[in-house]
Amino acid sequence: MNETKKRIIEAAIALFTEKGFHGTSIQEIAAHAGISKGAFYLHFKSKDALQVEIFRYYTSLIQEEMENAVEPALSAKDNFLRQTEVQISQIQRHTDFIAMVVRDQAYSLNPELIRFIEELRVSQAEWYREQLTSMYGQAIRPFIHDISVITEGIKNNYMQQFISNPQALYPKALAELIVRMTGQAAEEFLAGTYRPLLDDETVRTLFSFFAEGEEETDAAGVIDGMRTILSGLALPRATAQYLSSSLDFLGTQADAGPSADVTAIRGVLAIFRPYPEFGDCLRRLEEKFGTDTLN
């Protein structure tokens, strides 16, 4: 991530926390980041797109730290403890981000962010599957969904209690409590004391929105990749703005689904042909939209 994009994200976090997502304008974000409004649009097509990138930015920081916490020589339980402590410490370090989420819950109005949140939930479920299977073997698999919900509930509720005074929280102590409670839940399920309430089919139903939006997300991801490429090209300002507007149009067509204007899309994709940096992205979008501009 380039320095300007990082400054925009950090400026937005500060302003969203203070004024709320809807109460903050793009002009204010740009001014706080020390850039022009035009420079903002070279990096993000909208405030909604910035919001998604903020979530990606912070979750990637947490995931990277958790991966680095794994020590192969340790037991699965000890590594689960280490990763849980790192996760809590990272959240504690970025309470401004948590405050923004709690303040607005604005993702409910942003379909792209809803899809990203669902994607994170799927990824989180896979992480719990790996951790619990490593600790308890294949016998734990029917209970993984329930145990992960219990574990996340404990962690999230404790984090909310400390959000106004994060320094009062001791990550190691909370991580030890979570691991202990996770172990108790696993033992109770394995002993047959409780029956699971969640199975794979139920979870698939709950994630149906994510599954239905997967094709659209693919196209949107390609377009976001083109924006990243565009931001790194040395182009005249007018040209960069024209290409950015063209990507905005492609984004609306991706949202349109079967009613997308294929003829117009073909013309817009052709605008990017003189720039070889976009070649792979153009081919992927042609597959998505059923167009042919490269021949």
What are the CA-CA distances from residue 78 to residues 71, 135, 138, 192, 219 (Å)? 9, 10, 19, 25, 40
**In angstroms, what CA-CA distances link 134 with 66, 172, 187, 258?**
16, 21, 14, 44
Q: What is the mean pLDDT of the chain?
A: 84
* Mean pLDDT calculated for residue range 240-269: 87
Per the model's pLDDT, the better-predicted residue between 113 and 238 turns out to be 238
Q: What is the pLDDT of residues 39-73, one digit of tens each?
A: 999 899 888 889 889 888 888 888 899 999 999 99
Where helices occur in the chain by DSSP H, the ranges are 3-19, 26-33, 37-43, 47-68, 76-93, 95-104, 111-136, 144-161, 171-190, 200-206, 208-212, 214-231, 237-256, 262-271, 279-289
Q: Is the pLDDT of residue 176 over 90?
A: yes
Dihedral over Cα of 84, 88, 93, 98: its sign: positive
pLDDT of residue 101: 66
What per-residue confidence (pLDDT) applies to 102? 61
14 vs 207 pLDDT, higher one? 14
Whole-number Å distance between alpha carbons of 66 and 70 = 7
Which residue carries 């490593």 as its tokens? 134
Grade residue 35 by pLDDT with cuts at 50, 70 and 90: very high
Judge whether residue 209 has pLDDT over 80: no
Whether residue 35 contacts residue 231, with contact meaning beta carbons closer than 8 Å, is answered with no
* C-alpha to C-alpha distances, 228 to 49, 239, 271, nearest whole angstrom: 12, 15, 17
Q: Is the pTM of this model over 0.95?
A: no
Between 113 and 182, name the one with better pLDDT: 182
Confidence at 291, pLDDT banded by 50, 70, 90: low
- pLDDT, residue 121, reads 80
pLDDT in tens, 107-143: 455 677 777 877 888 788 889 999 999 999 999 999 9
Cα angle, residue 163 at apex, residues 150 and 91 outer, rounded to 5°: 65
**What is the per-residue pLDDT for 213?**
45
- Name the least confident of 68-72, 102-106, 212-216, 251-255: 212-216
How far apart CA 210 and CA 111 sit, in angstroms, is: 10
Confidence of residue 197 (pLDDT cuts 50, 70, 90): very high
Q: Give the pLDDT score at 217.
A: 42
Give the 3-state DSSP-derived string for 107-169, with helices as H, strands as E and coil as C: HHHCHHHHHHHHHHHHHHHHHHHHHHHHHHCHHHHHHHHHHHHHHHHHHHHHHHHCCCCHHHC
- Please state the rounded mean pLDDT for residues 21-37: 90
pLDDT tens column, 247-261: 988 888 888 878 888
**C-alpha distance from residue 26 to each of 41, 44, 240, 257 (Å):** 9, 10, 19, 28
pLDDT of residue 191: 96
Predicted local distance difference test score (pLDDT) of residue 109:
54
Structure confidence at residue 200 (pLDDT):
76
Which residue has better confidence, 98 or 225? 225
Radius of gyration of the chain (CA): 22
> What residues have CB less than 8 Å from 208, skipping those under 6 apart?
none
Contacts of 6 (CB under 8 A, 6+ apart): 57
* Cα atoms in the Cβ-side hemisphere of radius 13 Å centred on 236: 3
